[in-house]
Amino acid sequence: MAKTISQEFIKGLWTEIPPFRLVLGLCPALAVTKSVENGIGMGLATTFVLLCSNLLVSLLRNIIPPKIRIACFIIIIATFVTVVELMMQAYTYPLYQALGIFIPLIVVNCIVLGRAEAFAFKNPIFPSVADGLGIGVGFTLALGALGAVRELLGSGTLLGHAMFGPGFQPFAFMVEAPGAFVSLGLMLCFMNMLGKR
Amino acid sequence: MGDLLVLVISCIFINNILLAQYLGNCPFLGTSKKMETAIGMAGAVVFVLTMAGIITWLIDVYFLKRLDIEFLRTIAFILVIASLVQFVEMFLKKSIPALYAGLGIFLPLITTNCAVMGVCLINIQEEYSFLQAVVSSLAYAVGFGVALVLFTGIRERIILGRVPKPLQDTSIGLITAGFVALVFIGFQGLV
């Protein structure tokens, strides 16, 4: 049992890491990864929602009638998103402002609904929690990595510290929308190369 | 009138929902392999987004703000959108089966299209008047359609080319989207 739980956790970090392996949740991955900090902040907020919604969906899986399950999932997810939104407003206000409408938009992040439907609704509590946590941490790492690439090339900093000498000319391209698409595309390509057997 | 025209142009081109605001990218990549599905998706989005924009604006102003329960906005909006999609689906199935068959699977998928929810939230955040909210919802939806159809045209060509193996499919799709986005940045000086 312990082994399978750790497997559920680990699969989120490599074999099913979003948004690279599961191509879901692209919008926040593109929008908030101008810097590492924002990427990780978004990842953690999503992880919290994933964890809580997976837990609750798994607990209620025998009570929720299958016909209206999607509506129930959405209400559960929306509730936790509201919780995150209010908490971030209270404790991490600058991050809350930087992420803007992408915090309420966690509601429509396909990863969260996808895990509720594909995993938590069919599995007991502990594997569901491990799955939520794994996918969430995977998403956070992916967003952090993407943020690191874009911040390093786009503004020449990493977590706000200057990484290059004063002569460095930042690529404005990388922090704009096209840079987001291209760098995510290249990272996907890189993951495909690594994953090839 | 002039203001509304500026709003239309800025919503369609400058702040294009897909390429500048990064909303609705999952259906953007998912449905852009064939022109037929792209047009179906664009049609469904124009229809649902405009209606959702209008209804959520009314709910926010006349209900949530009146009762001072704006913290429930996320839940209220997603419920409105989900039930609207369901309603539209039932309505089309009954009255316009041809359109229903055309839109097919895309209609239910719109519930989790963040472009819809995103535009509803933008309308509220920018404190648009009712008329502005209607116009911006419609214009954002048209912008979604324009970008999706343009991108699909390019992607259909790419499928014919010889793409290196690791770059295939979504990867090259994203990179292409990046260049389309670069083109749209060119519109920035327009207004």
A135 vs A30, A47, B36, B186, CA distance in Å?
Answer: 18, 8, 34, 37
Write out the E strands in chain B: none
Tell me the pLDDT of chain B (191 aa) as tens digits: 788 888 888 888 888 888 888 888 878 887 788 888 788 888 888 888 999 999 999 999 998 888 888 888 888 998 888 888 888 888 888 888 877 777 666 777 777 778 888 999 999 988 899 999 999 999 999 999 999 999 999 988 888 888 888 787 788 888 988 898 888 888 887 77
**Chain Cα centroid distance, residue B102:** 18
Q: What does R_g of chain A's alpha carbons equal in angstroms? A: 18
> What are residue A161's DSSP bridge partners?
A158
Which amino acid is present at A21? R
- Reduced to 3 states, what is the DSSP secondary structure of residue A74? helix
User: Do B154 and B147 contact (CB within 8 A), yes or no?
Assistant: no
Asked if B79 lies within 8 A of A75 by C-beta distance, the reply is yes
Asked if A74 lies within 8 A of B79 by C-beta distance, the reply is yes
Tell me the pLDDT of chain A (197 aa) as tens digits: 455 778 878 777 777 777 777 777 788 888 888 888 889 999 999 999 999 999 999 999 889 888 888 888 888 999 999 999 999 999 999 999 888 888 988 888 888 888 888 888 888 889 899 989 999 999 999 999 999 988 888 888 787 777 777 777 777 788 888 888 888 888 888 888 887 54
CB-CB: which of A26, A79, A185 is closest to B178? A185
Asked if A78 lies within 8 A of B78 by C-beta distance, the reply is yes
Largest CA distance in chain B: 59
- What is residue A194's predicted lDDT score, i.e. its pLDDT? 81
- What is residue A196's predicted lDDT score, i.e. its pLDDT? 57
Domain membership of residue A18 as a residue range: 2-195
Residue to mutate among B19, B33, B81, B171, with most A CBs inside 10 A, is: B171
Q: Among residues 40-59 of chain A, which lie with CB inside 8 Å of chain B? A: none
CB-CB: which of B19, B74, B77 is closest to A177? B19
* A87: contact with B, CB 8 A cutoff: no
CB-CB: which of B24, B73, B171 is closest to A192? B171
Total domain count, chain A:
1
CA-CA-CA-CA torsion sign (B148, B150, B153, B157): negative
Chain A nearest-CA residue for B24: A27
**Do strands A161-162 and A157-158 pair parallel, antiparallel, or not at all (unpaired)?**
antiparallel
Cα–Cα distance measured from residue B148 to residue A100, given in angstroms and rounded to the nearest whole number: 25
Its ipTM equals 0.83
Residue to mutate among B45, B78, B86, B165, with most A CBs inside 10 A, is: B78
